[in-house]
Amino acid sequence: MPVNVVFLEPAFPSNQRDFVRALHAVGARVIGIGERPLEALGDELRSQMVHYEQVSNVTSTAQVERVVKALQRKVPIHQLESTIEAHVMCAAKVREACGLPGTSVKTTYLCRDKPAMKEALRQAGVACAQSIGSSDPEEIRQFANRIGYPLIVKPRDAAGASGTMKCNDAAELETALRSFGVAAGRSVAIEEFIEGHEGFWDTLTVGGRVIHEFVSHYYPNVLDAMRHRWINPQFIATNRIDAVSGYDELKRMGRKVLGALGIESSPTHMEWFAGPKGLKFSEIGCRPPGVRAWDLYATGNDIDIYREWAMTMVHGRASQPLSRRMSAGIVALRPSQDGRIVDYRGLGDIERAFGQWIIDVHLPSPGTPTQPVDAGYMANAYIRMKHPDYDELRRMLDLTGRTVKVLAR
């Protein structure tokens, strides 16, 4: 019998279309719920869905639940899937209201609320930064006095480094508390700053069992990368995950995290640090990574990763083995200043040196307004590359970051 899968927001951002394509390809009957009118979706996307419902807000539990319950009165609905951080809680609540399987509200909450997440993992014996969640300035000051500086202040449900502030002393902490509106009652996450190298571990997981796993490394750490214009940051998905024993501890920790948070069948994205205090958990989301990291996994492993996601979600198994043939990475290219892009320098040198290893190049046309430094790795120009040797790929990306100039005024 065909599996009817409701998918939240099939059109935006653009790679949401790949999830719909993949569900359709593995035999699912896809029912989309999105914010755009049907006629705006395009022929290809419309052809991959058996039905579509427009709502004004896909994060509105009431709206999505109303649509799903109406659908259930007409056809059996087997699954409700979402892949965007802002959508996952709505999807979890609607699943529970409509009796559908999938990631629970409790697990989704633990994967979004940073203090609750870390408390659950500390109880399970996972090494984490010391942290609290609080809306009480005095409680936060007492935590700071007990733990010491630097400290990290962030929204309780932030994704990655979004909205994160590093506080090196009491004065900077007070500035952060004002910025976040703590005095007005807003609760924030306060964490011990962990020194060390930063990376991420991503999975496709079925019934709590890891089907596929990937490891990527940041250069430099995200907080530094999102604060300084002169840095052209990069991250690299390694092809050494099964060949280097140093990843064994990370794999064990990741699986312990999945079990402690009750993550069953879901893509996951887990950030970690390794430094003087050892390997430390940072945070996890029960959804795919951002910045199109999955594209790098697909290139490095000779797979259609969206199809793999669909196979695990719909059929509970993989369809393709991972080749681990290539490491693949991205280097973000920062404009020389805010304004508008006027020209590029050095691209020809990189194309001549590494042309066969370039996956793609994104260079916004002259006249395009620049985006702020903290807008992310793909906000302005970027180049993605692959190579069978991880160290060589890192050298190539380093040289690309030093050579290619994005001129703006």
Domain ranges of the chain: 4-102, 130-192, 197-408
Rounded (10°) angle between helices 114-123 and 248-261: 110
Q: How many CB atoms lie within 10 A of CB 141?
A: 16
Q: What is the pLDDT of residues 13-66, one digit of tens each?
A: 999 999 999 999 999 999 999 999 999 999 999 999 999 999 999 999 999 999
Task: Give the whole-angstrom CA distance, residue 202 versus residue 160.
Answer: 14
Half-sphere exposure of 38 (CA within 13 A, CB side): 11
* CA distances (Å), origin 242, targets 215, 238, 293, 324: 10, 10, 19, 8
Give the model confidence (pLDDT) of 219-277 as tens digits.
999 988 988 899 999 999 999 999 888 899 999 999 999 999 999 999 999 999 999 98
Residue that is written with structure tokens 């995950």 in the block: 241
Which residue is associated with the tokens 């807003």? 186
Question: Distance between CA 281 and CA 406 in Å, rounded?
Answer: 35
Give 130-192's CATH code, choosing from 3.30.1490.20, 3.90.1150.10, 3.40.50.150, 3.40.50.720.
3.30.1490.20
Q: Which of 203, 208, 211, 209 is nearest to 311 (CA)?
A: 211
Neighbouring C-beta atoms of residue 381, cutoff 10 Å: 23
pTM: 0.91
> Are 65 and 94 within 8 A, CB to CB?
yes
What residue has token string 């529970």? 96
* Domain 197-408 grouped into CATH 3.40.50.720: no
Residue predicted with more confidence, 1 or 299 = 299
Domain 4-102 has CATH 3.40.50.20: yes
CA dist., res. 298 & res. 295, Å (int): 5
Over residues 328-350, the pLDDT tens digits come to 999 999 999 999 999 999 999 99
